[in-house]
Amino acid sequence: MSVVNDNITLDMFQPAQISADESDRISAPSIGFWKDAWLRLRKNKAAVVGLFFIVLIVIMAIVAPMLSKYGIDDQDVVNRQNLYPRIPGLEWLGFDGKDSTGMDTYELNGVKQNFWFGTDELGRDIWVRVWAGTRISLIIALIASIGDCLIGVAYGGISAYYGGLVDNVMQRVIEILAGIPNLVLIILFILWLGGGMTSIILALIISGWIGMARIVRGQVLKLKNQEFVLASRTLGSSDQRIIWKHLIPNVLGQIIITLMFTIPGAIFFEAFLSFIGLGIPAPAASLGSLNQAGFENLQIYPYMALFPALILSILMISFNLLADGLRDAFDPRMRK
């Protein structure tokens, strides 16, 4: 086994000069939590695609209705009723303004301009209505999710941080609330307050904050006995300081992830409510009420359901992809 090697002698070695100072040096650039998460998110292609579509749809929802010369309720039953979508350059996809029998609806009505998403039975431009509806759906979802977040974080945080009897009572209250079917709760709520954005938002918040409260409670329970919190307490920190400096920053990642999963849920729930007729009252539109209108004319004018359904689906998928990506980015250990 032994290899005789006469070539190497002691005087070929010399001591390496490493001072203690040198060995403690960290050469890598300092990367904070948020930057690290962003770098990891950027590597996740699905999440980036999701983010791209969300940004695109948000921009369109803000800009598109403003740029069109039609309002969401500009009717014209004489000249431009039920025009099929016509998008220049995409005629080969079927967006050529011809109905199922091959008749050009634009020629029949003598309309020169293009309606990209077509018009409905009242002659309203669906392009404008879809984007305005997206805007309303997004606003409802966003406000409802932020409301969920505020109530859920406060409730879950207090419950976990003070613990004991407080926690016990607060958790029993949550269990009772969670036991009531939320659809019943929401429908009663809307019947009581009447339709409209405010009541939908309130109805969504009333049943939506429980999930957030549970997640925050779990996280705070885990964190509050960590040694860094004990260390802060031995230094004499107030509860307020511990909550804001130690607990919230460490739960923030989880809060954002939960928020990103809540938003598509809220969008879908709003669409569902509008679809069963409890949503935004006419003439205003949301993705749900547009879908409902399209559904009624599905066999005659299928394009009316196509666009709102498409936007709704893309929005939901994108939010879910982004939320998935954020979860992996904030907490790489959770990835399987």
Partner 1 sequence: MTTQKNERQKYVEVNNLKKHFKVGRNAYLRAVDDVSFYIYKGETFGLVGESGCGKSTTGRTIIRLYDATAGEVLIDGVNVHAKKSRAELKDLNKKVQMIFQDPYASLNPRMTVKDIIAEGIDVHNIAKSKKERDERVYHLLETVGLNREHANRYPHEFSGGQRQRIGIARALAVDPEFIICDEPISALDVSIQAQVVNLLEKLQKERGLTYLFIAHDLSMVKHISDRVGVMYLGKMTEVAESDELYDNPLHPYTQALLSAIPVPDPDYERTRERIILEGDVPSPVNPPSGCRFRTRCPFATEVCAQVTPRWTEQRKDHWVACHLYDDEYKGNFNR
* Closest distance to partner 1 from the beta carbon of 41 (Å): 18
* Closest distance to partner 1 from the beta carbon of 15 (Å): 19
* Closest distance to partner 1 from the beta carbon of 282 (Å): 49
Do the Cβ atoms of 189 and 214 come closer than 8 Å?
Answer: no
Do the Cβ atoms of 286 and 136 come closer than 8 Å?
Answer: yes
* Closest distance to partner 1 from the beta carbon of 146 (Å): 22
* Cα–Cα distance for residue pair 242/240, rounded to 1 Å: 5
CB half-sphere exposure, 149, CA atoms < 13 A: 21
Which one, 31 or 298, has the nearer CB to partner 1? 31
Which one, 36 or 91, has the nearer CB to partner 1? 36
Chain residues that interact with partner 1, rule: CB under 8 A: 20-21, 24-26, 28, 30-33, 226-228, 230-238, 241, 245-246, 249-250
* Closest distance to partner 1 from the beta carbon of 328 (Å): 17
Which one, 18 or 176, has the nearer CB to partner 1? 18
Which one, 37 or 212, has the nearer CB to partner 1? 37
Residue spans of alpha helices (H) in the chain: 20-23, 33-43, 45-67, 105-109, 126-162, 164-179, 182-193, 197-224, 227-234, 239-241, 248-275, 287-296, 303-330
Closest CA to 162 of 151, 171, 149, 173: 171
Which one, 36 or 107, has the nearer CB to partner 1? 36
State the Cα angle at 199 between 146 and 319, rounded to 5°: 40
Contacts of 115 (CB under 8 A, 6+ apart): 80, 83, 85, 86, 125, 126, 127
* Closest distance to partner 1 from the beta carbon of 71 (Å): 48
Which one, 1 or 28, has the nearer CB to partner 1? 28
Which one, 16 or 20, has the nearer CB to partner 1? 20
Which one, 100 or 226, has the nearer CB to partner 1? 226
* Closest distance to partner 1 from the beta carbon of 2 (Å): 28
Closest CA to 187 of 273, 281, 288, 291: 273
The DSSP code for 281 is P
State the Cα angle at 95 between 93 and 98, rounded to 5°: 120
* Closest distance to partner 1 from the beta carbon of 21 (Å): 7
Contacts of 323 (CB under 8 A, 6+ apart): 257, 260, 261, 264
Which one, 106 or 161, has the nearer CB to partner 1? 161
* Cα–Cα distance for residue pair 240/175, rounded to 1 Å: 28
Strand, helix or coil for residue 176? helix
* Closest distance to partner 1 from the beta carbon of 236 (Å): 3
Do the Cβ atoms of 284 and 136 come closer than 8 Å?
Answer: yes
Q: What residues form DSSP beta bridges with 104? A: 98
